[in-house]
């Protein structure tokens, strides 16, 4: 999924649940207005309403996605045309994810996002799109069955992380890199479970990996173990296998941790009973 979107005239500009077209499209986004420092004291009156709007985005997102079940997010460029091999690759990835029992979540736009939603829908799975308000018309692609539009990036990113058990990342631009490193940071800092992050297309990603494993690692800015947080593959089959494999490992770890906690609790209860009068 990428947010470096392309113009799609006539599809409309989404401002939360509101659809705008033509002269109704605003010059700035909700994020721009929220982060602007040029409002003087007006924020005293406007920001409380923004807080309510932000709260409503979380409520709507949680409500819409709570019953999606196991899901994987697929990221990649909005600029990839349907004629590119990577478009077909994204379709294949999504179809295989559905066959493995996952719903597919994208940013809901064109390019790789549309390809992944198409693959999920055609495979009979749950096809989810999380749209974002942007300063150009983009719209939700036609293969999204469950779509939620957001004003704010941070609310939308929370939904990707909360409802995904892994990220599959195809070639993309700044938006894709932003989402990739957001997920990578959360895993590295143990803010989320170490779900799989799979990069598809070794030729595309190798330069980035060389820099991370070279300049960044050599200066001690990351640990060698951090390199293992990324898995690089070339095929849809390998990508889905990596997600499934890591999912099995995480479930085993969860079961082991639950069993250990139960044993510790039983031991503690027994010790309490031994000293009871």
What was the pLDDT predicted at 45? 57
- Asked if the structure places residue 14 within a domain, the reply is no
Q: Produce one character per residue of 209-245: b if its CB has 16 or more CB atoms within 10 Å, e if not.
A: eeebeeeeeeeeebeeebeebbbbbeebeebbbbbbe
Give a yes or no: residue 22 inside a domain: no
- Identify whether 187 is part of a domain: yes
Cα–Cα distance between 7 and 263 in angstroms, integer?
A: 58
**Is residue 209 in some structural domain?**
yes
Domain-embedded: residue 32: no
Distance CA 223, CA 201 (A): 24
pTM of the model: 0.77
CA distances to 149, 205, 206, 219 from 199, rounded to whole Å, are: 26, 7, 10, 24
Q: Give the CA radius of gyration of the chain.
A: 21
> Is 19 inside a domain boundary?
no
CA distances from 62 to 59, 66, 163, 175 (A): 5, 6, 9, 23
Residue 27, domain member (yes or no): no
Domain enclosing residue 173, as ranges:
59-256
Q: Total domain count for the chain?
A: 1
- 130 in any annotated domain: yes
What does DSSP assign to residue 190? T
3-state secondary structure of 246: helix
User: pLDDT digit of tens for each residue in the chain (277 aa)?
Assistant: 344 444 455 566 666 666 666 665 776 766 666 666 665 556 555 667 778 888 999 999 999 999 999 999 999 999 999 999 999 999 999 999 999 999 999 999 999 999 999 999 999 999 999 998 877 656 789 999 999 999 889 999 999 999 999 999 999 999 999 999 999 999 999 998 889 999 999 999 999 999 999 999 999 999 999 999 999 999 999 999 999 998 888 777 778 778 877 787 777 777 655 555 5
Indicate which CATH number applies to the domain containing 128.
3.40.50.450
Q: Beta partners for 71?
A: 103
């Amino acid at each position: 999924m990428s947010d470096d979107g392309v113009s799609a005239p006539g599809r409309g500009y989404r401002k939360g649940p509101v659809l705008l077209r033509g002269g109704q499209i605003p010059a700035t986004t909700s994020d721009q207005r929220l982060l602007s420092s040029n409002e003087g004291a007006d924020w005293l009156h406007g920001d409380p309403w923004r807080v309510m709007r932000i709260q409503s985005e979380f409520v709507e997102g949680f409500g819409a996605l709570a019953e999606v079940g196991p899901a994987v997010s697929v990221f990649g460029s909005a600029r990839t045309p349907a004629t590119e091999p990577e478009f077909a690759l994204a379709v294949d990835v999504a179809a295989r994810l559905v066959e493995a029992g996952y719903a597919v979540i994208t940013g809901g736009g064109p390019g790789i996002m549309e390809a992944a939603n198409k693959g999920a829908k055609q495979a009979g799975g749950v096809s989810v799109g999380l749209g974002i308000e942007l300063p150009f018309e983009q719209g939700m692609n036609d293969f999204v069955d469950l779509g939620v539009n957001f004003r704010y990036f941070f609310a939308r990113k929370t939904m990707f992380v909360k409802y995904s058990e892994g990220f599959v990342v195809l070639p993309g631009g700044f938006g894709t890199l932003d989402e990739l490193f957001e997920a990578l940071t959360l895993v590295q800092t143990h803010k989320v479970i170490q779900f799989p992050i799979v990069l598809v297309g070794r030729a595309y990603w190798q330069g980035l990996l060389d820099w991370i494993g070279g300049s960044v690692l050599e200066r001690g800015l990351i640990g060698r173990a951090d390199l293992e947080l990324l898995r690089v593959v070339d095929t849809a089959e390998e990508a889905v296998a990596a997600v499934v494999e890591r999912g099995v490992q995480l479930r085993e770890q969860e079961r082991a941790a639950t069993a250990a906690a139960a044993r510790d609790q039983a031991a503690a209860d027994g010790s309490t009973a031994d000293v009871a009068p």
